[in-house]
Structure 1
Amino acid sequence: MRLRKRASHALLFAVLVVPPARLPAQEKPDQLRTMSRQELDAVKVVLAQERAWNAGNIEEYASAYKDSPDTLFVADTISHGYAGIVQDLHRNFPTKEAMGQVSYTGLEPRSVDERVSVVVGRYHLDRSRKAGGNADGVFSLVMEKTEAGWKIVVDHRN
């Protein structure tokens, strides 16, 4: 448990202190940027999803999405609504082996306004060839501040 806590702190430190792989044109690579509380809260949602996925817990992973018919997941197809997203996750990843292990890197959070944040980053899915093989890509998340905390309302993966 102590090792897991240290690893979480190290990851949080890396996200807060290490500059992202791609910086906006106005920022120089040797400049650090301090995250706002809102941006940090958005990153926490992404890291909680990573932990839930790697534990094989689709329900906990899906709890990061807003429970609304308007929530969207865009990948090879478009899933509409929280229920549709959860159904598609269970269909596409029926076992822990099929889920594999995911890692998110290069997280770049941005506050749009006090109720909306965007997080972009990269993902790597590590799994056996039999389970579908590895996958890499980029993602963008639009998050909304709700009474239940920050929730994903649009998830786009490529």
Structure 2
Amino acid sequence: MCLKIGAIMLMLLSLNAMAVPTDDISSMLRQQEQAWNQGDIEGYMSGYWQDDKLRFVSNGTVRYGWQTTLDAYRKNYPDKAAMGQLNFKIEEIKMLSNYAALVVGHWQLKRIKDAPAGMFTLLVERIDDQWVITHDHSSD
């Protein structure tokens, strides 16, 4: 009896030690938020899949590629004042498999002159042992 209880306890402890994918995804998004708020666009972009197949949909435009997305961010947010302070509010992280999740949330920028806000839907995938955004659809 004691052996069975000990085995069950060991199994439960090992499950707690395993990383929960939603926690890893939330952590990646918090790191993006922090990088943005420090004026570090390249750090922010580390949450995106560094590949030509990355897809970014916004303002009626579809962009492909990590570099294209980085260039658009640099153009639209040339300095820290333009970047403002970013805040994400995650509504849901739905695991689609062990290697893919759908994330729905809100974004808001607080700047001196305005406070644009909107929503996003992200496809986040585990590639090369790292969670990265492979598809981003953001709207105002």
TM range (shorter): 0.7 to 0.9
Give yes or no for contact 2:90–2:103 (8 Å, CA) kept in 1.
no
Distance in 1 between the 2:27 and 2:48 partners? 13
Which one of 16, 24, 41 corresponds to residue 41 of structure 1?
24
* Structure 1 stretches of at least 4 aligned residues deviating more than 6 Å after TM superposition: none
Within a 5 Å distance, the mapping from 1:79-158 to structure 2 comes to 79-129=63-113, 133-158=114-139
Larger radius of gyration: 2
Alpha-carbon offset, residue 134 of structure 1: 1.3
**TM score, norm. by length of structure 1:** 0.72
User: Where in structure 1 are there 5+ consecutive unaligned residues?
Assistant: 1-35
Task: Report what 1:56 is aligned to.
Answer: 39
More strand per residue: 1 or 2? 2
**TM score, norm. by length of structure 2:** 0.81
Number of corresponding residues: 120
Kindly report the root-mean-square deviation, in angstroms, between the aligned alpha carbons of the 2 structures: 1.3
Alpha-carbon offset, residue 107 of structure 1: 3.5
> Share of identical aligned residues, percent?
31
Distance in 2 between the 1:150 and 1:96 partners? 26
Distance in 1 between the 2:90 and 2:25 partners? 14
Distance in 2 between the 1:119 and 1:42 partners? 9
